Amino acid sequence: MVVIPEITLCSCEKTMPVIGMGTSVYPPADKETTKAAIVEAIKAGYRHFDTALAYGSEQPLGEAIAEALSLGLIKSRDELFITSKLWSSFADKDMVDLQLDYLDLYLIHWPLKLNQNVRSMPTTKENIFPLDIKSVWEGMEECKTLGLTKAIGVSNFSCKKLKELLSTAKIPPAVNQVEMNPLWQQKQLRDFCKAKGIHITAYSPLGANGTKWGDNRIIECDVLEEIAKAKGKTTAQVSLRWVHEQGVSLVTKSFNKDRMKENLQIFDWTLTEEESNKISNLPQRKGFLFANLLGPHDFILELDAEI
């Protein structure tokens, strides 16, 4: 079984495996399928699982953990690192609530607030509000103080939003989980977060092909294909290795048993300087846009344009 390296987060006594398994799939999988995939992932060596209320995967994750314990795959829940997220409909201080007994990392999912009545997307501008970052972050800090989560952080936050949070935070965010891959490298955001001691976790390291907003441009990238062929690796492995070499952690999503294992085979080889330079010079384009999900409202377009 692959041994996955771990990193230390600020304000957190527990280390985090640098690769996590994502549990958001499109179209949504049924609970049994999700549970079975998570058990397989534990067998393959995954110990970090990324969930969220919005994914509908918190319950099957809990059931999968119980099954893994009963099968002897793990000795205790403490062997796992569980990340979950506060959904935008509950982005008020008094509604910051956890769906599991305790978490290792709890993130604000989006830097905006949605009306609780929103059941589908896109939605009207009347249902979308700016996030009261100071107030909601106080609720997150309370979760950590009470021991409900070992670390707190954010997701999809720009440098601008992070500056606003840091100006009032008593506990700084340990993590900013954002889209990052060879075709959206986030250099400026990575430099900012590094200077502030905020760890970056990359989601969609393979371009989120098969989702509403993703595409196959990573898997079909000629430069990545060429490097993969020369190294006897897959294009996906080259992309994941490049992300890992940037000093960030990453969340991969596959319910396919073989691809789950393939995604872990990135630690016993490296990219050459020439290969890294080729990847660094790839043209850049953001994949995840709030406007594609919520609608092209002025506030949302401004959010998408933030650096």
pLDDT 10s digits, 55-80: 878 889 999 999 999 999 999 999 99
β-strand partners of 181:
184
Q: Which of 55, 102, 106, 203 is catalytic?
A: 55
Question: What tens digit of pLDDT does each residue of 211-228 get?
Answer: 666 678 899 999 999 999
pLDDT at res. 120: 74
pLDDT at res. 287: 87
Q: Rounded CA gap, 66 and 99, in Å? A: 16
pLDDT at res. 126: 86
Structure tokens of 224? Answer: 């990545």
Instruction: Pick from 8-12, 173-177, 253-257, 284-288 the range whose average pLDDT is largest.
Output: 173-177
Instruction: Pick from 18-27, 124-133, 255-264 the range whose average pLDDT is largest.
Output: 255-264
pLDDT at res. 232: 97
How much of the chain, in percent, has pLDDT values that exceed 70? 93
pLDDT at res. 89: 64
Whether residue 101 is predicted with pLDDT greater than 80 in this model: the reply is no
Whether 109 has a binding-site annotation, put simply, is: yes
Whether residue 22 is predicted with pLDDT greater than 60 in this model: the reply is yes
CB-based contacts of 66, cutoff 8 Å, min separation 6 = none
| Average pLDDT for 45-50 | 96
Q: Rounded CA gap, 257 and 46, in Å? A: 12
| Mean confidence (pLDDT) of the chain | 91
Instruction: Indicate if 55 belongs to the active site.
Output: yes
pLDDT at res. 194: 97
The structure's pTM equals 0.92
Question: What tens digit of pLDDT does each residue of 113-164 get?
Answer: 888 777 777 788 888 888 999 999 999 999 999 999 999 999 999 999 999 9
Structure tokens of 99? Answer: 């769906």
How much of the chain, in percent, has pLDDT values that exceed 90? 69
Helices (H), 51-186: 58-71, 133-145, 159-166
Whether residue 245 is predicted with pLDDT greater than 80 in this model: the reply is yes
Q: Rounded CA gap, 35 and 77, in Å? A: 16
CB 45 within 8 A of CB 1: yes
Inter-helix orientation angle 222-231/235-245, to 10°: 100
Domain boundaries, the chain: 6-306
* 125 vs 87, residue with greater confidence: 125
Task: Identify the architecture of domain 6-306 in CATH.
Answer: Alpha-Beta Barrel (3.20)
pLDDT band at 92 (very low <50, low <70, confident <90, very high): low
